[in-house]
Amino acid sequence: MKSGIADTGPINYLVLIGHVDLLPRMFERVALPKAVQAELSAMRAPLPVRRWIAAPPAWLEIHDTTVLPRVSGLDEGETAAIALAESLHADLLLMDERDGCRVARSRGLRVTGTLGILDLAAEHGIVDFCQAIEKLKKTNFHRPETVLRLLLKKHSKDGRA
């Protein structure tokens, strides 16, 4: 794919599980808005995430955005990520938050979250999905168990979750 625009959640979890470098292997362009950069830098963000965003890799583009009018239930990072995905005509918006995904899809954007990124990377043979999920389980990632079971079954060597 050509471009992926990221919200806070997927970057946060990919950094925590040591797989953020999947992004430049999957996308020609990876970008996030300054509002997401601020969320990743906030004191409430895990220390490894704050360290990562303090010295972002060369492949990561950080953009100023014109923010959408406030959407009830969405934070500034989510609204800015949606606005950036629209302005750059992104192939894929990387977002975990359910309400944000709903708004983005209603605006015609393609969206996937952390699990979807790992699924796509596994399909391309650049990550072991089951190992990545074991790392993800050690974080505070809220996962839809039904979806997770299906993906584990899809990627397990013996076809069982």
- Give residue-wise pLDDT tens across range 12-58: 999 999 999 999 999 999 999 999 999 999 999 999 999 999 999 99
Residue 160 lies in a domain: no
Q: Is residue 107 part of a domain?
A: yes
**CATH code, domain with 100:** 3.40.50.1010
CA 99 remoteness from chain centre: 15
Which of 28, 1, 24, 29 is closest to 14 using CA atoms?
24
SS3 for 29?
strand
pLDDT confidence of residue 35 = 94
pLDDT confidence of residue 157: 74
* Domain membership flag for residue 50: yes
User: What's residue 72's pLDDT?
Assistant: 72
Q: Which two tokens stand for residue 35?
A: 């509002």
> Which residue range(s) make up the domain with 70?
3-115
Is 91 within a domain?
Answer: yes
34 burial (CB, 10 Å; 0-12 / 13-18 / 19+) is: middle
Residue at 138 is within a domain: no
Task: Say what the pLDDT of residue 67 is.
Answer: 62
Angle between helices 47-54 and 34-41 (to 10 degrees): 140
Residue 94 lies in a domain: yes
Domain tally, the chain: 1
pLDDT at 100 (0 to 100): 94
Task: Encode pLDDT of 58-86 as tens digits.
Answer: 999 999 876 666 677 899 999 999 999 99
Residue 135, pLDDT score? 97
